[in-house]
């Protein structure tokens, strides 16, 4: 039976990591641990994994040794390509949509009782500080985010973002979560006030226009 598995952290996506964490944090015998890890990494059933030969087991165990090493805490580049699309790590609260703030606050609230909530929602959290960009006329520009693009980005991160990118950004978010959420909140309130002023101005102009016709 031929089994191909990741051999470095760069090969582990957010989605795979979310499924791996319960196994990595559990107390299992060495053989049970390998079987459970392989089931996650290959998508095969445990019954199938158990059919590997002893020689394969030894080889696979050596290949999986990277899982015992620490994930990097430093991001190599603030711009990166995931699933064929470019993104930029940037704290720019004014670019967020209201739904993102609500989702983030709900996740952080859950994390007070269970820190795993951060890891289980890492792909959602990262969309608040990793924004889609595109290159036009030799210059990088932000892409306006709406609900549909937000869902696409979350799915892309879950399926394709390697933990070597996700983990350093996740650490940054977690260690700065209080100040970040407060900044986001202030920006959203300011934006709401701006929209309210614009609406009031438009209503006043309409009323003045109607009054001039009589």
* Coil, strand or helix at 112: coil
Among 73-87, 90-104, 110-124, 183-197, whose mean pLDDT is lowest? 183-197
The predicted pLDDT at position 101 comes to 67
CA distance 164 to 13: 9
Q: Model's pTM, two decimal places? A: 0.75
CA distance 147 to 156: 14
* Banded model confidence at residue 192, pLDDT cuts 50, 70, 90: low
CA distance 75 to 166: 9
Beta-bridged to residue 82, according to DSSP, are 85
Residue among 159, 156, 171, 158 at smallest CA distance from 70: 171
CA distance 194 to 53: 67
* Coil, strand or helix at 32: helix
């Amino acid at each position: 039976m031929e089994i191909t598995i990741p051999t470095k952290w760069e090969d582990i996506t957010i989605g795979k990591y979310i499924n791996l964490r319960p196994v990595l944090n559990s107390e299992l015998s060495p053989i049970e641990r390998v079987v459970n890890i392989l089931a996650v990494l290959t998508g095969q059933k445990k019954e199938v994994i158990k059919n590997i030969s002893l020689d394969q087991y030894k080889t696979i165990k050596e290949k999986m040794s990277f899982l015992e090493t620490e994930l990097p805490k430093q991001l190599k580049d603030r711009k990166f390509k995931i699933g064929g699309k470019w993104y930029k790590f940037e704290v720019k609260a004014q670019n967020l949509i209201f739904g993102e703030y609500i989702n983030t606050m709900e996740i952080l609230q859950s994390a007070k009782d269970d820190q795993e909530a951060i890891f289980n929602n890492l792909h959602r959290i990262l969309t608040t500080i990793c924004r889609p960009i595109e290159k036009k006329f030799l210059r990088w520009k932000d892409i306006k985010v709406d609900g549909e693009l937000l869902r696409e980005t979350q799915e892309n991160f879950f399926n394709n973002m390697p933990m070597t990118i996700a983990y350093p950004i996740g650490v940054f978010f977690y260690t700065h979560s209080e100040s970040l959420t407060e900044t986001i909140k202030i920006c959203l309130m300011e934006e709401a006030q701006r929209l309210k002023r614009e609406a009031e101005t438009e209503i006043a102009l309409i009323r003045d226009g109607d009054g001039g016709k009589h």
